[in-house]
Structure 1
Amino acid sequence: MDIQSATWTEVRDAETNLAMVPIGSTEQHGPHAALGTDTLNAETVAETAADRLDDPVAVSPAVSVGVAEEHRQFSGTLWTSESTFRSYVRDIVESLAFHGFDRVVLVNGHGGNVAALREVAGTITRHDDAYAVPFTWFEAVGEDAPPMGHGGALETSLLQHANPDAVREDRLDDAAAEGTRRWGNWKGKVNLAFDSAEFTENGVVGDPREASADLGEDLLDAASEALVDLLETVAEHDTERPPRK
């Protein structure tokens, strides 16, 4: 059930306590992919999983601005602080729980959100009237998938399959030529860079020329099946808090 397109009485009568919150970002993805790439991909995975799940699940509107200051030098990138982001996500989950959706999967499409989502999910579960877990779609596509990168083959492929208008196909060669192949500026195991502009000329990490709609279909299948499995587990998970020792 898409909460945004449902009526309040349909939400009231929904026979489920399970919900998803798609969470993305508005940030550069090279000259070839839309600023909303992470949000579009998170929505695609969440919607596909909802369609495949045997039982009903509520899907909230997406969070489309996340923790993305690392891309601030590229025009159009929007960001919020981690503390504001965590508070906003927590408020959304609190709203869902108030209406009976107290088991929530946070479906993430942006690497910069990962740490903050893990922390806020723990806070929600420990202190609020809800149980929340984060799920990042590109961590669930299998070892044979291309490296994550940024605006590379993995993200571009999912766009080409589900949102092809978000990809400027005529810019793929330039995107690859001016990009880089590794995230960061490393000294041993220490990343010396804080902003992506320190190591990539146009924001790309990876090779978007290796992307395809067929690969995107495979990635979506793997990610959505993993999400369905997680949703089924969350629906049955024992949420009783452990007693104090």
Structure 2
Amino acid sequence: MNLSSVTWTDVADSETDLALVPVGSTEQHGPHAPLGTDALLAEAIAEAGADRFDGDPVRSPTIPIGVAEEHRHFPGTMWVSPETFRRYVREAVGSLASHGFDRVVLVNGHGGNVDALREVTGTISRHDDAYAVSFTWFDAIDADDMGHGGPLETALLRYLFPELVRENRIEDAREGAAASWGEWVSRTNLAHDSAEFSENGVVGDPAAGDAERGRELFDESVAALVGLLEAVATRDVSEPDRRG
């Protein structure tokens, strides 16, 4: 059930207590991929997960702006502070819980949101009238070449939104890309912003991600999300007794 397209009376008739909230970002993804990549992919995976789950969970509108100041040097990028982001997510989840949707999975598409989402879902689950967890699609799949605007995201875009990929800029994206994220010394990343190590914001080779790989990544991500929804839907979320 997509809240953007149903009426309040439809929602009133719902018998589920499970909700999905897609969370993304509006940030640079190189010269070839749209600023809305993270939000678009999170929403597509959340929608497919809801459709394939045996039930009819609520799906909220996507939260399109996240913790993305690391891309601030590239025009069009938007961001909020981690504090603002956590507060917004907590209040959004609280509004769902007030209507009985008190088991919430945040479906995330942006690496910069991960720490804030982990923290806020813990706060929600400990102190609010809801249970929440976050799911990040690229952490749930078997791949080690995530990059940024690189092969995985480009593959998914080519599969799901091929019209949004600027294929005539792929070579430019490759030439200005970094091989890996950051500048590492003694297992410490010296770089705070992506512009410090990537000429055009890309990390990895976008040419390596074709539509067929995108289909495989999509199916793997959605299957992982469905498994998580099944676990959340049946989990005992009552407060554990304190140990004496």
Q: Say what the alpha-carbon RMSD is for the aligned residues.
A: 0.7
Aligned-residue offset at 1:163: 1.2
Show the counterpart of 1:117: 117
Alignment of 1:167-178 (within 5 A): 167-178=165-176
Show the counterpart of 2:183: 185
Q: Distance between the aligned counterparts of 2:89 and 2:105, measured in 1?
A: 11
Q: Distance between the aligned counterparts of 1:26 and 1:140, measured in 2?
A: 22
Show the counterpart of 2:132: 132
Q: Residues 56-82 of structure 1, C-alpha deviation per residue, up to 9 Å, x if partnerless? A: 110000000000000000000000000
Q: Distance between the aligned counterparts of 2:166 and 2:53, measured in 1?
A: 33
Q: Distance between the aligned counterparts of 2:185 and 2:145, measured in 1?
A: 21
Show the counterpart of 2:67: 67
Aligned-residue offset at 1:243: 2.1
Q: Secondary structure at the match of 1:61?
A: coil
Asked if the contact 1:23–1:39 (Cα under 8 Å) also holds between the matched residues in 2, the reply is yes
Show the counterpart of 1:239: 237
Aligned-residue offset at 1:186: 1.0
Q: Residues 67-103 of structure 1, C-alpha deviation per residue, up to 9 Å, x if partnerless? A: 0000000000000000000000001100000111000
Letter in 2 for 1:45: I
Matched, 1:86 2:86: yes
Aligned-residue offset at 1:23: 0.2
Asked if the contact 1:18–1:57 (Cα under 8 Å) also holds between the matched residues in 2, the reply is yes
Show the counterpart of 1:98: 98
Q: Distance between the aligned counterparts of 1:49 and 1:229, measured in 2?
A: 9
Q: Residues 176-206 of structure 1, C-alpha deviation per residue, up to 9 Å, x if partnerless? A: 1111111001112000000000000000000
The runs of 5 or more residues in structure 2 that have no matched partner are none
TM-score by length of 1: 0.98
Letter in 1 for 2:32: H
The runs of 5 or more residues in structure 1 that have no matched partner are none
Aligned-residue offset at 1:146: 5.0
Show the counterpart of 1:157: 155
Aligned length: 243
Q: Distance between the aligned counterparts of 1:235 and 1:178, measured in 2?
A: 45
TM-score by length of 2: 0.98
Asked if the contact 1:31–1:175 (Cα under 8 Å) also holds between the matched residues in 2, the reply is yes
Q: Distance between the aligned counterparts of 2:161 and 2:144, measured in 1?
A: 19
Q: Secondary structure at the match of 2:4?
A: helix
Q: Distance between the aligned counterparts of 1:47 and 1:162, measured in 2?
A: 12
Q: Percent identity?
A: 61
Show the counterpart of 1:30: 30
Show the counterpart of 1:2: 2
Q: Residues 134-153 of structure 1, C-alpha deviation per residue, up to 9 Å, x if partnerless? A: 000011121xx351100000
Q: Distance between the aligned counterparts of 1:5 and 1:225, measured in 2?
A: 25
